[in-house]
Amino acid sequence: MKTQQKKLTRSFYTRNVLTVAKELLGKIFVKVENGNKILSGYIVEVEAYKGKVDQAAHSYKGKTKRNEVMFEEGGHLYVYFTYGVHFCANVVTGKKNEGDAVLIRAIEPVEGLNLMAERRFGKTELNEKEKINLTNGPAKICQAFNLGRKENGEDLTGGKIYLLDRPKIPTKEIIKTKRIGIKKSTGLLWRFYIKNNSYISKR
């Protein structure tokens, strides 16, 4: 087994949310379905949310039924429903009760393209534009990977959904910007993405 492709363990996730956010770039997100169907892709864009200081974080005002997974120990998946239409997926970070998580905003697909295409567009033959459009946004990822209520709270150190290690992306190839779609704490530059990657949700 290649050491570069080892599954990330608990200690990766239980660190500071900004550190984990930047290091998540380039890692491979994997979902196993029915024990064999594999969906995977490189994480290319993320945003950090820090419960204790960040007014835009769902966890800012404390634990509720909706956001309780954010207060779990790092290494869990927080999936929430929004706008009456969409799901978004986050990687919880830090110690238990920290309330920190990283929103996965864009993925470059690697395996399971046909299944993703079927779920996104109801067909498997895609043109170039549709191919880029498969997973270049937080809710698109959830549709392509079929992440919903069932996956909320999933332990990423288990066998169904997990991340594979890859070399760190060099700091100079990481672009740092304001987060998208929020109205509070807009001054924080906590969105990170890989420079020159085609699957970024928004330039």
Which burial class, exposed, middle or buried, applies to 83 when counting CB atoms under 10 A from its CB (0-12, 13-18, 19+)? Answer: exposed
Which residue's entry shows tokens 């498969």?
134
| Sole binder of DNA in the list 9, 14, 16, 133 (CB under 7 A) | 133
Residues 25-44 that bind DNA (CB under 7 A): none
Using CB under 7 A, count the residues that bind DNA.
35
Nearer to DNA, 168 or 178 (CB): 178
58 binds DNA (CB under 7 A): yes
175 binds DNA (CB under 7 A): no
Please give the torsion angle defined by the CA atoms of residues 77, 81, 86 and 87, in that order, rounded to the nearest 10 degrees: 10
Residue 89, number of CB atoms within 10 A of its CB: 26
Residues 78-97 that bind DNA (CB under 7 A): 81-86, 88, 90
Residues 94-123 that bind DNA (CB under 7 A): 101, 103, 120
Which residue's entry shows tokens 């169907």?
37
User: In sequence order, what DSSP letters do the residues of 175-195 get, joined into one string?
Assistant: EEEPPSS-SSSTT---EEEET
Determine the residue type at 83.
Answer: Y
75 binds DNA (CB under 7 A): no
Query: Which range touches DNA (CB under 7 A), out of 33-41, 62-70, 170-178, 188-196?
Result: 62-70
Answer yes or no: are the C-beta atoms of 42 and 27 closer than 8 Å: yes
Min separation Cβ 6 and DNA, Å: 26
Binding site for DNA (CB under 7 A): 47, 49, 56-59, 61, 64-67, 70, 81-86, 88, 90, 101, 103, 120, 133, 137-140, 179-184, 201
